[in-house]
Structure 1
């Protein structure tokens, strides 16, 4: 055959003259990728064998590549594997060029697709939302082509891993942060257009907290959290109280005909009024001081003034908390009408001021937004359950004997904030928040925590509402303050299990079910170890890139020392080692689906499956620990909060393996280690099954239970569930239940098809997604809608 007469038919239909060197070059690259060189004779021989199959004067590109695969498999299977992977990746790249056009068309037409609905907190159909989505898709493409090393780009595009927030990769941002508000408020801080002084009232404290949230959100791509909201706001309550007391004293004294220097009077009050609840001896001392300063005030007058000032301070605090909630649900921090992914942790400040903050915050949360009291989506609220502070078994038993009286405040408790715990349960029953963080779970304890430490919050774990956990620290203080997650990447756990099962079935000498399962388990655990190491290296690569960011790229976060250590940098300094206190997350999804792939059963009711999943997460931790030592960075295992990812892996695995019953036959993979959402399992069984995984996923986790009916009518059941979580060493938990509101008449309750009052079908259905709430299921992507539909109510 005359090779010069052969034409190659390209994928676009065009023809070009055949060149054997192109085949030789492609095979040579596959050899190099396998680590083999100096095999010129083998490469030439394979090329000749491929050409020998040609039967006509034309041959297609895909046909040639098939022939190359066939001939390589005969002599060099490992090289063939590299060639196949490279070919698949190149095909994916070509598809992306066509795909990106379809994506852009879908954004322009505001189609209801999973790209436009990838973020339930964003209105992608608005002009700014469209611009955000355009930018996101184009930036991802740029990242694939120019920033990601090829192995990681391939692994992501082929669905082996998912590198989160790829659209923000070029910006070098970190994911999230927990604020030390006390430090920010005491020092003051600056924004682009000016400086902010230390606030002097609870209204200012609450308003500035929202401004900090909003400003810093533009410098990170994930959530923001306040670790000790009650402690940080308490000073604002006291300052308001002192100002009101001074103002009322001034009025009282002037009514007696005395001239008053209000500044001096306020200084006296600030010096001698250290709490909003003064005892009798403190009142007497203040009267003596005032009289000594020439201010004529009696004890009875002061008592009345303090009473009125306390009532006014509570009103001001309520308005401040109401404004805080309203602002965080209306202030847009980015295009697409996105509000801040905000979280607040609280529950352990036992001061009268801190307690007042939380009492009024919870009341404002129950009251809700607007004239019809819609449930607030933000902030995500987390109540910190701490033995002896906000909880005790003795208090729980006492409350259960007469729960209505306990809820009404008609009992006294040994734990000073146990009444707030009950109020938190009542609020959860109405508004789905707060969630619950358990500080005495062994892995959440801090050895430095002391009850008499006024800043003990530094040693209390706090969390992002979505579940991201930042606590342990190789490179500084073990705390949540001033730290955050750098980045995280998720492995496709079901794919590893599917591949393991396929290999085991082809390798097992004895094809009994037990033999195949044993072999599949061994292959699976080895694959988990290998993939965890692969992800750890990818995270390190991203970290090295993030280090090169300049401090001036994050003027608020670094310039104000929000990220601890950033305040020491000059604007043109690289952030470098300042990032070392952040965390790197090795994530996973689809534990249930992976176990079905291996055993035909999920881990909810199969001990064998549960043990294997637990061993897999232990392997991830072994790798994380090894990489902690290798790079001296805070690696951890994360139970991935999958929203956009929930359906991506599933779609890709259906294309690759076909539909496998019980594994990928739905639109989503079940989150992390969670028991299947369709599993008929009791509340206690679910909590007991998932609790041990919390100790292994210190990058973040959450366990939730799904209730049916109106929880607000049975607050006792909420308290019981929280106690079970406490006793079973859950780290972080939440309780889901239907919260529906009729847009037409405002009726609230469990609404099925139509409002029972006005028969309207225009219903707001509040549900939880990956840790936070959304008020419209239509804003969820198809995978998460399918998951919500399948959620079984736990008995």
Structure 2
């Protein structure tokens, strides 16, 4: 055949003249990528073998590449593998060029697709939401092409890993932050348009907290959390109380004497009133001090003034908490009607002021939003369970013996805040929040915590509500304050298991089931290690990029020392080592699906599968510890909260491996180490199965329990579940149950198809997605809708 007459048909249908050099160059690149050089004769021979298969005067590019693969496999399989990977990568790159237009068209047409529904907290069909989605998709493409090293971009696009928040990659921003709110309140802070001074009332404290949330949200892409909401708000309660007390005393004196001695009264109050819970002895001392200053008030009158000031302070606190919740559900921090991904941790401030904050917060949460009391989506609330402070086994036993009396507040407890624990359970039973964090679980403790330390919250773990955990710190104090996650990347664990099983079946000639499974496990654990190293390298690369950001790119977060150490930087100075206190998360998804690929059984009821999954997560931990020592950075293992990712891996793997029962036959992979959502399992067994994984996922974790029926009618059951979590070593847990509201008549309860009162089908169904709530399942992507539908109830 005359090669000069051969035409090559390109992918777009156009033709070009045949070129031997193009084939030879492609083969040479594959050899070089494998590290093999000086094989010019072999490359030339392979090239001629490929050409020898030409049978017509026209041949497509794809057909030539198929021939190259076959000839390489005959002589150098390792080179063939590199060629295949490179070819797949190039195909993916080409596909993205055409996919981008399809994506943009879908955004313009506001299609209900998984691009538009990737974030259930955003209204993607609004103009601002569309702009956010346009920007997100274009920026991701820019990141792939120009910022990510090829091996990481390739691993992400092919579905080996998922680099989260790629659209924010070029901004160099971090993921999330935990506020030292006391520091911000005491110093005051600056926003773009001016300075904010120290607040002087509980209303101001609560309002400024929402402003801090909203302002900082625009400098990060993840969640914002207050680690000790009760401690931080308590000063505002006290200030409001003193204001009302002073006003009452002034008014009383003015009635008696027609003038007031404000300076003397202020001095006496500041010296003798240190709490809103001042007892009769303290009140008498105040009366005596005032008398010495020439101001006479009898004790009965003083008691009336105290009681009125206390009642007014409680009213103010309730309104402040009500406003706080309403603001966080209505103040849009970004386009697409996105409100702040806000979380608050509380439960261990035993002061009268801190307790009042939480009492009124829980009441406001139960009352809900609007005239019909809709369940508030934000903030995510986390109640901190601490032995001797907010919980004790003795108190629990007494409460269970007469639960109605206990829940109604007619019982005294040894743990000062155990009554708040019961109220938290009651609120969860109605409003799905708070979740529960267990501070005495061994890996959540801190040796520096002292019960008499007024700032002991510094040594208490707090979390982002979705699950992110920032605590251990190789660069400084073990604390959650003023720190956050830098970035995280997730491993496709089911893919590693499928590849391991295929390899084992090919390598184990005996066909023995046990031998195949043993080989598959060995291959799987090794591949988990290799992929963890890849992710650790990628996280380090991103960290190196992030640290080149200038301080002035984050004027609020760095300028106000929200991220600790930022205030010491000049505006044009790189953030550099200030970021060392942050965490780098190696995440994973689909533990259940991976075990199904290896053994045909999930880890919920199969000991072999459970042991293998546990060993795999331990292997990720080993890599995290090695890289922590290597770079002196806070590497950690994260039980990934997958929303958009849940379906992305599955779609890619189904195309590659086909439909495998229990693995790729659903639209989603099960989150992290969670038992399959559709697997029948008791509450106790689920908690026992998942609890050990919490200790080895210190980048963040959560265990959910799904209840059937109306939990608000069985608060006692909620308390029992929380105790099970406490006793079994859960680090962070949550209880899900149906919360349905009829839009037409306002009826609340478990609603199946139609409202039992008015027969309306217009039902608000509040459900939890990756840690936060949403009342419209239509805003969820297809994978998460499928997962929610499959969730079984636990008993």
In structure 1, the residue corresponding to 2:420 is in which secondary structure?
A: helix
**Paired residues of 2:261 and 2:295 also in contact (CA < 8 A):** no
Offset, 1:144? 0.3
**Paired residues of 1:391 and 1:418 also in contact (CA < 8 A):** yes
Determine the C-alpha separation between the residues in 1 that align with 2:200 and 2:273: 15
Structure 1 alignment gaps of length 5 or more: none
Identify the residue that residue 24 of structure 2 maps to in structure 1: 24
Identify the residue that residue 272 of structure 1 maps to in structure 2: 272
Identify the residue that residue 310 of structure 1 maps to in structure 2: 310
In structure 2, the residue corresponding to 1:440 is in which secondary structure?
A: coil
Identify the residue that residue 356 of structure 1 maps to in structure 2: 356
Given the superposition, is the C-alpha separation of residues 644 and 267 from structure 1 closer, same or farther in structure 2, using an over 3 Å criterion?
A: farther
What does 1:465-476 correspond to in 2, within 5 Å? Answer: 465-476=465-476
Identify the residue that residue 168 of structure 1 maps to in structure 2: 168
Offset, 1:302? 1.1
Q: Does 1:236 align with 2:236?
A: yes
Q: Does 1:418 align with 2:438?
A: no
Q: Does 1:653 align with 2:653?
A: yes
Spell out structure 1 runs of 4+ moving beyond 4 A.
Answer: none
Identify the residue that residue 156 of structure 1 maps to in structure 2: 156
Determine the C-alpha separation between the residues in 1 that align with 2:557 and 2:775: 30
Identify the residue that residue 435 of structure 1 maps to in structure 2: 435
Identify the residue that residue 738 of structure 1 maps to in structure 2: 738
Q: Relative to structure 2, which stretch is displaced further, 539-548 or 292-301? A: 292-301
In structure 2, the residue corresponding to 1:448 is in which secondary structure?
A: coil
Identify the residue that residue 758 of structure 1 maps to in structure 2: 758
Identify the residue that residue 378 of structure 2 maps to in structure 1: 378
What does 1:159-238 correspond to in 2, within 5 Å? Answer: 159-238=159-238
**Paired residues of 1:403 and 1:716 also in contact (CA < 8 A):** yes
Query: CA deviation digits over 1:631-670, x for unaligned, max 9?
Result: 1000000000000000000000000011011111000000
Determine the C-alpha separation between the residues in 2 that align with 1:577 and 1:315: 46
Identify the residue that residue 69 of structure 2 maps to in structure 1: 69
Given the superposition, is the C-alpha separation of residues 550 and 264 from structure 1 closer, same or farther in structure 2, using an over 3 Å criterion?
A: farther
Offset, 1:734? 0.2
In structure 2, the residue corresponding to 1:207 is in which secondary structure?
A: helix
Q: Relative to structure 2, which stretch is displaced further, 265-274 or 5-14? A: 265-274
Offset, 1:4? 2.0
In structure 2, the residue corresponding to 1:383 is in which secondary structure?
A: strand
**Paired residues of 1:242 and 1:266 also in contact (CA < 8 A):** no
Determine the C-alpha separation between the residues in 1 that align with 2:235 and 2:18: 79
**Paired residues of 1:593 and 1:663 also in contact (CA < 8 A):** yes
Identify the residue that residue 103 of structure 1 maps to in structure 2: 103
In structure 1, the residue corresponding to 2:330 is in which secondary structure?
A: coil
Offset, 1:264? 5.2
In structure 2, the residue corresponding to 1:360 is in which secondary structure?
A: helix
Offset, 1:261? 4.5
What does 1:131-150 correspond to in 2, within 5 Å? Answer: 131-150=131-150
Q: Does 1:115 align with 2:108?
A: no
Determine the C-alpha separation between the residues in 2 that align with 1:676 and 1:765: 22
Offset, 1:509? 2.7
Identify the residue that residue 408 of structure 1 maps to in structure 2: 408
**Paired residues of 1:107 and 1:134 also in contact (CA < 8 A):** yes
Determine the C-alpha separation between the residues in 2 that align with 1:550 and 1:211: 24
Q: Relative to structure 2, which stretch is displaced further, 344-353 or 252-261? A: 252-261
What does 1:276-675 correspond to in 2, within 5 Å? Answer: 276-675=276-675
Determine the C-alpha separation between the residues in 2 that align with 1:492 and 1:345: 31
In structure 2, the residue corresponding to 1:636 is in which secondary structure?
A: strand
**Paired residues of 1:243 and 1:266 also in contact (CA < 8 A):** no
Q: Relative to structure 2, which stretch is displaced further, 59-68 or 272-281? A: 272-281
Determine the C-alpha separation between the residues in 2 that align with 1:326 and 1:385: 26
Determine the C-alpha separation between the residues in 2 that align with 1:743 and 1:684: 36
**Paired residues of 2:469 and 2:698 also in contact (CA < 8 A):** yes
Offset, 1:361? 0.2
Q: Relative to structure 2, which stretch is displaced further, 762-771 or 21-30? A: 21-30
Determine the C-alpha separation between the residues in 2 that align with 1:273 and 1:644: 53
Offset, 1:197? 0.2
Determine the C-alpha separation between the residues in 1 that align with 2:115 and 2:715: 39
Determine the C-alpha separation between the residues in 2 that align with 1:705 and 1:788: 13
Query: CA deviation digits over 1:551-587, x for unaligned, max 9?
Result: 0000000000000000100100000000000000000
Determine the C-alpha separation between the residues in 2 that align with 1:715 and 1:307: 32
Offset, 1:263? 5.2
Offset, 1:267? 4.4
Q: Does 1:50 align with 2:50?
A: yes
In structure 1, the residue corresponding to 2:252 is in which secondary structure?
A: helix
Q: Normalising by the residue count of structure 2, what TM-score does the alignment of the two structures yield?
A: 0.99
**Paired residues of 2:264 and 2:293 also in contact (CA < 8 A):** no
Query: CA deviation digits over 1:267-322, x for unaligned, max 9?
Result: 44233211001122211221122222222222221111001100110000000000
Determine the C-alpha separation between the residues in 2 that align with 1:316 and 1:778: 38
Offset, 1:262? 3.4
